[in-house]
Structure 1
Amino acid sequence: MAKYVCTIILTLVALVLLSCGDDEQSVKVSLDKRREIAYRPQLPAITYAYLPQYSHTESFKRHQRLVEYLSEQTGLSIRQVFPDTFTDHVTMFGEGKIDISFSNPFIYVKLANRFGARAMARIIEEDGRAEFRGQIIARKDNAAITSVEDCRGKSWVAVDPSSAGGYLFALGHFVDHGIGLKDFREVVFSGGRQENVILGVYAGLHDFGSIREGSLKVVEDKIDINQIKVVASSRWYPGWVYAHSPKVPQEVVEKIRAAMLDLDYVHNPQHRALLDAARFVGFVPSDDRDFDPVRELRVKVGLDLE
């Protein structure tokens, strides 16, 4: 056995020597000086997630300044995380991977029902309201759709089955007008992206679409949004909400909420800049009762929140 091992070693040495050409110098490697590379685990942080109604790039661009501000004001380490879909957002919250959720009111009610999420603040939209609504849109040159009734038998593209402004508010509006899901030729979803709904309508791939009010601004550098018309708007519903996991200590919740409520859009230019990036102008306190209208909508359209 020893002879066999010795033969292998000699063979390997010979191969190394033969691999050096006539003009090549062999390099002596010393293992006397070594540097240990230590594994550095990610430090614990409060995780913050924006429901992915836009691309991750857009989500980061809108919220990173706000995340940095909250970290500075509270002294907490807060890190933005990026679910790929609405379903991922819900799943990650349930798995404890999201501590602070910024979501539409329908997703909030799901999180509250399933995992004990609790509302901490609602945003004030750019129009000064703490509510928002959905819009039904079509191409301006589509003469076949000028009213809600004209949508019967047509192709509808919506954001996601759990999108509030991009689907559920519009569905509730249709139901109020005696129109149900069976009355459309098809209902397809855009993968959770408001942009995709607008582009699908603009390109003529679908007769009409549903988006949250304000989303047209997101694509104004890509298409001529004057070619899109608003056919109808839904009623107003409670706005987007920040909610926390029941695992987050109450003192941490209060620090974050206080920092949110301290933002001054009118008198502080730095605050205005970060809020402009996020596309809202401030916060109001909120609790679970604010979202009873969403629970009523769920009953109206026959959707399950579990």
Structure 2
Amino acid sequence: MRRLSLILLAVLMTISLIGCTPKKEEVITMGFVPMRDGDKLIESVEPLTEMLSKELGVKVEGFTATNYVGVVEGLGSGQVDFGFIPPFAYVLANKESNAQVILTALNKDLEAKYRSQFIVRKDSGIKSFADIKGKKVAFVDPSSTSGYLFPGAHLIKEGIDLEKDIQYVYSGGHDKSLQLLLNGDVDVATTFVDVRDRYEKDFPDANEKTEILGYTEYIPNISVTIRGNMEKDMQDKIKNALLNIASTDEGKSLLKDLFNMYGFTEATDADYDIIRTTAETMDVDLKAAE
């Protein structure tokens, strides 16, 4: 009887200890790539994760990836709960793991989209896209959305065969494409809108010597994407938390400094169908496009 009592006591103590064991703290992981506007490193996203933690009532930590594919893979594996990724990366994440876009970032004009432009020299004699045939075009990089993929797709829709009707080079940068155009090394440059104002100090005569031939279709801005198996309640909480943060002066300043974002608007998967169409037109492997 004494032995039975000791066994029961041991069992009760074990149950008591299990009950006292603290639960593992819930953590939400935010994925990002440490670049802002292509040229400035993000030193830390801790101020943003702290604001999100306060809004959500759950600890938020940052996951730093060396490129956007790292965030896409993190969303698929569950290592990342949500992240800031560009449109092609979103379409890839959606295809691979059913990741879902919940918000699209706004630019300084408070638009959730942007375009590419085609620039020519004013003395080039190029007045239409048909005039580009036989000319030399500067694209930025084969992985650039605004510097190659959308401009290339636009030229194809204009009846131009990229391999037969034109010569082209990859400049390695939007500013470098503009420089090639001004130097007379190419006849057409494809860049974001408007590269001439962005690099006015480097090329003060760019606006005087060049003109815009036309624009591509609109491209969705950076997305806020959540992992595909996230509970609806948490999806809504993250969405509302980011919208709330973007509505405050402190939050606006923080998003601008970190990611060059000026707020968010709600988004759906259909908003990114233009990316899928463009990838198909350009015969692009979405994974390679990142």
**Normalised TM-score (structure 2):** 0.69
How far does residue 121 in structure 1 lie from its aligned partner after superposition?
0.7
1:302 to 266, 279, 283: 283
Aligned-partner Cα distance in 2 for 1:67–1:159: 34
The alignment partner of 2:42 has SS state of helix
Answer whether contact 1:64 1:80 (CA < 8 A) is retained. Answer: no
The alignment partner of 1:262 has SS state of helix
Alignment of 1:131-210 (within 5 A): 131-138=113-120, 140-182=121-163, 183-188=165-170, 190=172, 193-210=173-190
1:106 matched to which residue of 2? 88
CA displacement 1:160-194 (0-9 Å, x = unmatched)? 3343222222122212211121222124252xx44
1:94 matched to which residue of 2? 73
CA displacement 1:215-240 (0-9 Å, x = unmatched)? 55543443325355322111224333
Aligned-pair RMSD on alpha carbons? 3.6
CA displacement 1:7-50 (0-9 Å, x = unmatched)? xxxxxxxxxxxxxxxxxxxxxxxxxxxxxxxxxxxxx8724324
Aligned-partner Cα distance in 1 for 2:255–2:103: 15
Aligned-partner Cα distance in 2 for 1:230–1:52: 29
Alignment of 1:1-306 (within 5 A): 46-50=29-33, 54-55=37-38, 57-58=39-40, 60=42, 69-71=51-53, 73-74=55-56, 75-79=58-62, 81=64, 83=66, 88-91=67-70, 93-94=72-73, 99-138=81-120, 140-182=121-163, 183-188=165-170, 190=172, 193-224=173-204, 225-226=206-207, 227-246=209-228, 253-264=235-246, 268-277=248-257, 278-305=259-286
Structure 1 52/279 Cα, relative in aligned 2: closer, same or farther at 3 Å?
closer
Aligned-partner Cα distance in 1 for 2:139–2:43: 24
Asked which structure has the greater CA Rg, the reply is 1
How far does residue 150 in structure 1 lie from its aligned partner after superposition?
3.0
How far does residue 65 in structure 1 lie from its aligned partner after superposition?
6.3
CA displacement 1:147-170 (0-9 Å, x = unmatched)? 323332333332333432222221
Aligned-partner Cα distance in 2 for 1:63–1:223: 33
Structure 1: 5+ residue stretches without partners:
1-43
How far does residue 280 in structure 1 lie from its aligned partner after superposition?
3.8
Aligned-partner Cα distance in 2 for 1:67–1:152: 50
Structure 2: 5+ residue stretches without partners:
1-26
The alignment partner of 1:143 has SS state of coil
Mean CA deviation greater in 94-103 or 235-244: 94-103
AA matched with 2:131 = D
Structure 1 65/134 Cα, relative in aligned 2: closer, same or farther at 3 Å?
farther
CA displacement 1:57-109 (0-9 Å, x = unmatched)? 525289886566445544533336353xxxx4225532557654433322321
